[in-house]
Amino acid sequence: MLKTLAQSITGIVLTSNIAFATDNPRPERLISLTPHLTEAVFWLEAGDQLKGRDRYSNYPQQALAVPIVGDAYNLNIEALLAQSPDLVLLWQAPSTLISKLESLGLKTFNTNPQSLDEIVSELKRLANNIDSEVPDKFDVLAQQVRGLKEGYKASSENKALLLVQSQPPIALGMGDSLAASLNYCGWQNALQQPQAVINLSPEFLPTGDYQAVLSFTATAMSYLKPVPQFKPEADPLLRPGPRFPAALQRLCSQLNAAEAK
């Protein structure tokens, strides 16, 4: 399950930024090695530029027709190079992979958004780097963000536990963009540690300070506190891409409806 989680919320990012100058040619051959950037390329109406993807990029449907070049755990360098990419899109890459790609002369796009606002900013930066213009779509995103900021009042008392694995129990910490964005709902993450994922002690589950559970696990957990439990669709919330704002709006509505009862 933990590997499945990593496939959704972690991928590969280079630690150096490479921005295109305005006089550089439009990159025509993109490789995406993380699902949320694959989604973003199609959302930016640049799917025809995508020539390779990681094996976990499964949205939108058109992405499935793009050749696979591996994943964050097993990248096929030969398959990647065979596509002659102009730009490789990555998220949270180790330094060894950074050095390898740079030694091959590959240009990269680095992204690691930590909040709702940063997700939107990174989508705009990606659009600039691949020379895509879709202002209407960014207008919709801006409306969604405004709705979240204006729709819910901040509260220090409401805390949600974000479970991503049942055995052993693992939950999201503040290093994850969803956990860090719960404040837009007027809620907080129950775990304020800076890590993205946190191993929980068995004693915490029945006694911890949380008023709701967001479960991304396939297994029911009977030893949780008797609080409202939700099973939202994982990919739009655990992937910091263009579907995130709308998915967060739906989640906020669910959490605040439960609080009102």
Question: For the segment 67-120, what is each residue's pLDDT rounded down to a tens digit?
Answer: 999 876 788 999 999 999 999 998 877 777 777 888 999 988 888 898 899 999
pLDDT given at position 241: 96
What CA–CA distance (Å, rounded) separates 30 from 162? 33
pTM over 0.95: no
Q: Quick one: how many helices (H) and strands (E) in the chain?
A: 10, 10
Instruction: Classify residue 92 by its DSSP letter.
Output: B
Token pair recorded at residue 196: 């993205």
Alpha helices in 182-239 (DSSP H): 204-207, 234-238
pLDDT for residue 7 is more than 60:
no
Peptide bond into 240 cis (omega under 30): no
Determine contact, residues 37/46, Cβ cutoff 8 Å: no
CA 62 centroid distance within chain: 19
Domains, the chain, ranges and CATH? 2-133 (3.40.50.1980), 146-260 (3.40.50.1980)
Residue 172 pairs in a beta bridge with 197
pLDDT given at position 247: 96
